[in-house]
Amino acid sequence: MTTFLRLLAETDKATALQAACTQLRRGETDPRHFEVAPDSFNAVPGKPFAYWVSDSVRKLFNALSELESDGVVARRGVNSNDDNRFIRLFWEVEFGSQIWEAHVKGGEKSTYYLDPSLVINWGTNGHELEAE
């Protein structure tokens, strides 16, 4: 078994490390402490260093079939490949223009619904986007 201490969320890493080590020496539990067998990472494709994931989650990669093995094809959504050319804020284009469509590109988490603030030049049903 290998010992890991997850301190990513801590602002004062030195103090957090010292506190976690002190707790472990006393035999106390700490939610930032993980013990994982290194060969358990072999269960996950690409072997990411995900020590904080439970054994039951890692075992799912062996128990379940891969997404694309059942004829499902995973692809990304619309991508302009050239945002400066194809994407604008909605107020930058003429209202009612036939070539601009609402486009959601991500952004900060919102507790409430927000209208899309971006539009994409959809022109000839996106053919120009595909050409890029």
Q: Residue 77 falls within a domain, yes or no?
A: no
pLDDT, tens digit (0-9, with 9 covering 90-100), for 57-112: 888 888 888 777 777 787 777 777 788 888 889 889 887 777 888 888 776 777 77
Domain around 60: 2-70
22 and 63 part of one domain:
yes
Q: Name the residue type at position 7.
A: L
Backbone φ and ψ for 16, nearest 5 degrees, come out as -65, -40
Last residue in a domain, options 70, 91, 113 = 70
Q: Residue 78 falls within a domain, yes or no?
A: no
Q: Are 36 and 1 in contact (CB under 8 A)?
A: yes
pLDDT, tens digit (0-9, with 9 covering 90-100), for 35-69: 888 888 787 777 776 778 888 888 888 888 877 77
Number of separate domains in the chain: 2
Q: What is the pTM of this model?
A: 0.42
53 and 94 part of one domain:
no
What does the alpha-carbon distance between residue 54 and residue 94 come to, in Å, rounded to a whole number?
52
Last residue in a domain, options 26, 49, 70 = 70
